[in-house]
Amino acid sequence: MARTQGSHSDITGPRVREAALHLFARHGYAAVSMRKIAAEVGVQAGALYNYTPDKQTLLFELMRAHMEELLAAWDAATPPPEAGVRAALEAFTRFHIRFNTRRADAVFVSYMELRNLDPENFNVIEGLRRDYETRLEAILRRGVAEGRFAVAEPRIGAMALIAMLTGVNTWFRERGRLSLAEVEALYWDMVRRAVANQG
């Protein structure tokens, strides 16, 4: 036996990545075998190698795609400078929560599986992560320069805020007590006060 009915690269490729992302998020990269990914797709393990040269690259590409989509999405959602630095910070806060809760699997994998990346792959992902942190850092710096924010260490402030916002993923559930809009409002309130100048 060999090629099955309905088989097609345009269909199987995305399904492989979906299955891998889901399984990696749930059980971890090292605990998920190529055979398990193949079973989830409904295919034999060997067929996966039409879509990735190896398991490591499959992980890396998932993480890279996520980080690049994150950066592109934020760059597309960044308010114009004339909207003011406060609007920029609010936009970042809400964007981060919204984007990350909608892609919980990719966020989880991109953070948890860093240690399973080859050194060169790790450096790429780490660079993208730094890029993203720098976006927020720039907002904080501008706010300080304009006398609107009080942040002694903008780089550390950026990392602290991102850690806080990403933490939403550990408890937020779509059908929970609080809507996404309510969660955004709660966190924006904390972010705003954490960096505010007055008070």
Partner DNA sequence: GGTTTATCTGAACATCCGTTCAAATCAAGG
Partner DNA sequence: CCTTGATTTGAACGGATGTTCAGATAAACC
DSSP assignments along 88-144, one per residue = HHHHHHHHHHHHHHHTHHHHHHHHHTGGGS-HHHHHHHHHHHHHHHHHHHHHHHHHH
CB 155 within 8 A of CB 69: no
Judged by CB under 7 A, the stretch of 2-10, 112-120, 124-132, 152-160 that binds DNA is 2-10
Find the radius of gyration of the CA atoms of the chain: 20
Indicate which of DNA, a second copy, none lies near residue 152 (CB less than 5 to 8 Å, by partner kind): a second copy
Q: Lay out the site mask for DNA across 55-74 (x = CB under 7 A, - = otherwise).
A: xx------------------
Binders in 119-158 for a second copy, by CB under 8 A = 152-153, 156-157
Query: 107 with 169: CB under 8 angstroms?
Result: yes
Q: Could you tell me how many residues of this chain bind a second copy (CB under 8 A)?
A: 37
Name which of 1 and 163 has its Cβ closer to DNA. 1
Among candidates 135, 140, 132, 116, which has minimal Cα distance to 58?
A: 116
Q: Residue 63 CB, nearest distance to DNA (Å)? A: 16
Could you tell which of DNA, a second copy, none binds residue 46, using a CB distance below 5 to 8 A set by kind?
Answer: DNA
- State which residue, 28 or 79, has the beta carbon closest to a second copy: 28
